[in-house]
């Protein structure tokens, strides 16, 4: 009996030590104790689900891409916050931000005048995105000036819709037909160019390369860069403190080379080294 008691006491001690060890290991930000968690402000962050390599779903339904990796790195650096990253359609992102269902949105957004009236932005951009035109190989289209009388798809809530509308009015005699579409995937957009439903698609070069690897549409091609956008994380009004914190984190990530490293990993190039002098300023 004494042997059994001693054995049980020894086993109990081992179990207790194991529990304590697990608790200590789990005290990081990603698995906080209840006391630690109470000091963290949960931030509801939204990103897209159909724009690779920036934000899309992998084969297991997990959101992946450049925007996601940047958000995760910011989360690591902001010790007072815990990011809850969710993926959804682009139009749903903006509706959710307006309704308060989200605090932050990351979807390669440009800091337009209209958006600055409604939302908050860090001073520091988190990506530089070169855009080109996806066209049929025999189209003869090489620049924005070649879009007179042509057709294109754009989401009416996007900055690019406003940009193209303004460009058409000023330079093309308002002749560019812009089809207002919602939640059209990049793959479907390129397919419409390939089959002649529209003449052109304005696209990020990295997105085109990523999608074309899967589609392999042999009758379309990509023009040279037509413009470069500096893109920003966007926050709801009232999130001034968080905006300041994200801004500092992004500046640190740019200065210490972290953004460049993520860019090389997800976009296959250092966009900060290659495109800083070509920014299409929208401020």
Q: Do 146 and 220 belong together in one domain?
A: yes
Residue 188: inside a domain, yes or no? Answer: yes
The region that residue 47 occupies, defined by phi over 0 for left and psi between -120 and 50 for alpha, beta otherwise, is: beta
107, pLDDT greater than 60: yes
The model's pLDDT over 257-275, given as tens digits with 9 standing for 90+, comes to 999 999 999 999 999 999 9
The number of helices, as runs of H, and strands, as runs of E, in the chain is 11, 14
Q: Tokens representing 129?
A: 């995105």
The predicted model gives 55-61 an average pLDDT of: 95
Q: What backbone phi and psi angles, to 5 degrees, belong to 106?
A: -130, 110
| Residue 231: Cβ within 10 Å count | 22
Return d(Cα 66, Cα 63) in angstroms, integer: 10
Return d(Cα 118, Cα 96) in angstroms, integer: 14
Q: Do 180 and 45 belong together in one domain?
A: no
Whether the CB-CB separation of 111 and 281 falls below 8 Å is answered with no
Domain that holds residue 91: 34-127+232-270
Residue 135: inside a domain, yes or no? Answer: yes
9, pLDDT greater than 60: no
Count: domains in the chain: 2
Classify residue 39 as exposed, middle or buried by CB count within 10 Å of its CB (0-12, 13-18, 19+). Answer: exposed
pLDDT tier at 39, thresholds 50, 70, 90:
confident
């Amino acid at each position: 009996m004494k042997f059994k008691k001693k054995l049980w006491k020894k086993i109990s001690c081992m179990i207790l030590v194991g529990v304590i060890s697990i608790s200590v290991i789990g005290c990081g930000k990603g698995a906080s104790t209840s006391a630690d968690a109470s000091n963290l402000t949960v931030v509801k962050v939204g990103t897209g689900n159909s724009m690779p390599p920036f934000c899309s779903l992998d084969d297991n339904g997990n959101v992946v891409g450049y925007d996601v990796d940047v958000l995760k790195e910011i989360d690591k650096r902001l010790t007072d916050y815990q990011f809850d990253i969710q993926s959804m359609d682009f139009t749903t992102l903006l509706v959710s931000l307006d309704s308060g269902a989200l605090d932050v949105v990351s979807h390669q957004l440009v800091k337009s005048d209209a958006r600055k009236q409604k939302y908050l932005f860090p001073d520091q951009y988190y990506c530089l995105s070169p855009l080109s035109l996806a066209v049929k190989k025999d189209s003869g289209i090489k620049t924005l000036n070649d879009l007179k009388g042509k057709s294109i798809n754009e989401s009416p809530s996007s900055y690019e819709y406003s940009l193209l509308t303004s460009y058409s009015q000023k330079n093309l005699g308002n002749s560019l037909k812009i089809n207002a579409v919602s939640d059209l995937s990049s793959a479907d957009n390129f397919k419409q160019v390939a089959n002649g439903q529209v003449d052109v698609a304005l696209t990020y070069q990295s997105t085109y390369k990523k999608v074309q690897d899967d589609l392999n549409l042999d009758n379309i091609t990509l023009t040279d860069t037509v413009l470069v956008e500096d893109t920003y994380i966007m926050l709801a009004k009232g999130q001034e403190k968080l905006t300041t914190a994200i801004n500092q984190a992004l500046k640190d990530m740019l200065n210490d080379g972290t953004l460049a490293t993520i860019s090389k990993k997800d976009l296959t190039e250092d966009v900060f080294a290659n495109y800083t002098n070509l920014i299409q300023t929208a401020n």
